[in-house]
Amino acid sequence: MQMSSSILFASSNKNKYEEAKNIVSKFGLKLEFLKSNLQEIQADNLEDIARHKAMQAFSICSKPVIVEDDGLFIKSLNEFPGPYSSFVFDTIGTKGILRLVSKPRDASFRSIIAYCEEDGNVHLFSADVKGRISKKEQGVKWGFDPIFIPSGKNKSYSEIVEKNQISHRYLALKKFANWYLNKRRSHDQ
């Protein structure tokens, strides 16, 4: 099997792609955008959703491809919205979440990177960042970034300049990049 020098990133979200592209470039990898509206199955865990999307993306392009799925898990809401984060963001947004959250405000953000390079063969890489939900929106960016404050910080993801070095997406992409580069090195030997 020939290793690709660039990997497709399948998503309908250009912001997510730009963030991922910036992150993996630090590891010497190149991402290309595969704009796609992949079916998001309803499942109780991110792994099943990401796996399904990766297989669907591969069936579209027949090239090495990654997808990323993430979720915001809020302790006081019994880990809601979790795998339903996209739907919840589209329907009630950050303001709706802020109205729902009570004490404790503990939360975590989880990212799943799903890589597929051949039909049915998906590798998953996950990472969590613990934190809390702010009392109001802080900063302006996309998704739940304005209301998530990672542990050890006083600012939301939206306000943190170094977000791409500490986020759940960074940590999951770092795991993927290390695995992929090791695989390439062993293939090239």
pLDDT above 90 for 186: no
**What is the residue whose two structure tokens read 């590798």?**
123
Query: How do residues 53-76 score in pLDDT, each as one tens digit?
Result: 999 999 999 999 999 999 999 999
Domain extent listing, the chain: 6-188
Which runs of E-coded beta strand occur in the chain?
A: 6-11, 30-35, 65-74, 80-82, 106-118, 121-133, 148-150
Specify the pLDDT at position 3: 44
Q: What single-letter amino acid sits at 32?
A: E
Segment 138-164 mean pLDDT: 93
Cα–Cα distance measured from residue 171 to residue 25, given in angstroms and rounded to the nearest whole number: 14
Question: CA 91 to CA 159: how far, in whole Å?
Answer: 24
| Catalytic residue status for 188 | no
What is the average pLDDT across 145-158? 96
- Which of 44, 48, 69, 119 is catalytic? The answer is 69
Does the pLDDT of residue 188 top 80, yes or no? no
CA-to-CA distance for 41 and 21, rounded, in angstroms? 25
Share of the chain above pLDDT 90, in %: 84
pLDDT for the residue numbered 120: 77
The token duo for 48 is 């099943």
Work out the average pLDDT over 103-110: 96
Six-digit token string for 89: 């963001």
* pLDDT single digits (tens) 92-102: 999 999 999 98
pTM: 0.92
Q: Classify 6-188 by CATH class.
A: alpha beta
What pLDDT is attached to residue 118? 84
